[in-house]
Amino acid sequence: MKFRPLHRKISIWLALPLLVSAMTGVAYRIGRSWFGMSSQTGGEILSIHSWSWLGKAASLAVIWVVGCGLLFLCGSAFQMLWSSGRQVLRSPQKNRLWHRLMGAFLLIPLAASAISGIAYRTGEAFDISEDTLDLLMSIHEGDWLGKEIKPFYILVLGLGLGLIIISGLLLFFRKNKSPR
């Protein structure tokens, strides 16, 4: 099965919500860790990040759609990378090469973030134990790397996803540009 056309179509629909989630996640973590952001401001940024401003049910639906969409994009990216073998590093287009390299580098962390984010929000909605929620958030935020490295992990993950999205959009619009 050819995943590239479906990957392109789904990624266009997910570009904006993923970019919002990535940038608000970075803003929250960097703001809280390095710049002493207040809890109130952090809470407002997190409400955008988690889509909770939409209400409980809509927020959960958006998290599921965007999270599962990201998992599909990770899976289809893996399939495309795997099937192309060494061709991954051979691309005349710099955008495509950056897109592939960043995608390969961030594949597992993005999938882990999507799974833990979906599970956390679902667990929150269905009142699972605080210990389980703490574990899921620990995975989502990179707590397992330690307090000093955690902000760098979020920064690399968020900005990397932003770079993947922007390079993907450039590739999409270049491919779909009408001939002159």
Is the pTM for the entire model greater than 0.85? yes
Whether residue 90 is contained in a domain is answered as yes
In a domain, 136, yes or no: yes
- What's the whole-number mean pLDDT along residues 116-133? 95
Segment 19-35, tens digit of pLDDT: 999 999 999 999 999 99
* pLDDT tops 60 at residue 180: no
Domain range for 143:
4-174
User: Does residue 120 lie in a domain region?
Assistant: yes
Orientation angle between helical segments 56-84 and 94-125, nearest 10 degrees? 140
**Cα separation of 71 and 114, whole Å?**
7
Number of domains composing the chain? 1
Residue 45 lies in a domain: yes
- The pair of structure tokens assigned to 66 is 């965007």
Judge whether 30 lies within some domain.
yes
- Say if 180 falls within a structural domain: no
Q: How many other C-beta atoms lie within 10 A of the C-beta of residue 160?
A: 17
pLDDT bin (cut points 50, 70, 90) of residue 111 is very high
In a domain, 179, yes or no: no
